[in-house]
C-alpha cells in the first residue's frame, strides 16, 4: 500500500468513526467475549458459522453478505441512475485474513487495520457490483455496520445467506456457533 492509499484509508476510517452509524456499531461491538482461543485453526476447520449465512443471496440492491467454503463475501450494488457511496466496517476480536477486492475502481478503498481485527471500506458504486472476500481466524463473532450515502443501510437492503435474510438492525453481529 502506498502513502496516498494509507492517507486515504486513514481519512476514510476517521470519517466512518465520525458517523452515527459507526458510533452505534462501535458501541454494539464491544460485547464481552472469551476472546479467541489460542488453538484456533484457519477458516473451515473450527470456525463454524450459523447455516443461515451459507450461500449467496439473490442479487438485490443494497448489501449482500454470505459465507461458504472459501470464507466470507460482501457485495454492494444499487439500481439508481446516479452513483451511490457505500461504506462500512467489519470488526472481530479474531483476525480477518486473505482479504481480496472484487471489481473495485480506482476511487474505491478497502483497508484492514492493524492485527486484522477491523476492515473498513468505501466504494463509489455506479450500479455494478463492488465488494470483497475474506476469511477469519479465531473469530468468535463478526460485527458488521453499513452506510449508504451517509445513512445507515435499511435492514431490508441487507441480504444474508442464500435465503436473503435481513438482520434485525444495522449494525449487527453474527456469532460463531462452535
Q: Is the pLDDT of residue 54 over 80?
A: yes
Q: How many percent of the chain have pLDDT more than 90?
A: 60
User: Where do we find the cell 435499511?
Assistant: 154
Q: What pLDDT, on the 0 to 100 scale, is given for residue 11?
A: 38
Q: What pLDDT, on the 0 to 100 scale, is given for residue 127?
A: 76
> Model confidence over 113-158: pLDDT tens digits?
989 999 999 999 887 889 999 999 999 999 999 999 999 999 999 9
Give pTM, 2 decimals: 0.77
Mean pLDDT, all residues of the chain: 80
Q: How many percent of the chain have pLDDT more than 70?
A: 73
Question: In this structure, how many other beta carbons lie within 10 angstroms of the beta carbon of residue 18?
Answer: 9
Question: With the C-alpha atoms ordered 55, 87, 80, 168, is the resulting torsion angle positive or negative?
Answer: positive
Nearest 5°: the CA angle 43, 44, 49 is: 90
Alpha carbons 50 and 156: distance in angstroms, whole number: 20
> Model confidence over 6-45: pLDDT tens digits?
333 343 333 333 333 333 333 333 333 334 444 565 555 5
Amino acid at each position: 500500500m502506498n502513502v496516498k492509499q494509507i492517507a486515504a484509508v486513514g481519512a476514510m476510517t476517521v470519517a466512518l468513526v465520525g458517523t452515527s452509524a459507526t458510533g452505534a456499531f462501535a458501541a454494539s461491538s464491544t460485547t464481552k467475549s472469551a476472546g479467541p482461543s489460542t488453538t484456533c485453526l484457519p477458516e473451515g476447520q473450527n470456525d463454524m458459522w450459523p447455516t443461515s449465512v451459507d450461500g449467496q443471496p439473490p442479487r438485490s440492491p443494497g448489501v449482500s453478505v454470505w459465507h461458504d467454503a472459501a470464507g466470507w463475501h460482501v457485495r454492494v450494488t444499487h439500481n439508481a441512475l446516479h452513483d451511490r457511496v457505500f461504506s462500512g466496517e467489519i470488526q472481530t476480536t479474531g483476525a480477518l485474513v486473505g482479504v481480496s477486492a472484487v471489481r473495485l475502481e480506482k476511487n474505491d478503498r478497502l483497508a484492514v487495520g492493524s492485527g486484522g481485527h477491523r476492515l473498513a471500506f468505501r466504494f463509489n458504486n455506479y450500479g455494478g457490483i463492488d465488494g470483497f472476500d475474506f476469511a477469519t481466524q479465531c473469530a468468535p463473532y463478526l460485527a458488521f455496520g453499513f452506510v449508504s450515502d451517509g445513512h445507515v443501510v435499511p435492514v431490508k437492503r441487507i441480504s444474508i445467506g442464500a435465503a436473503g435474510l435481513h438482520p434485525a438492525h444495522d449494525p449487527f453481529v453474527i456469532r460463531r456457533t462452535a
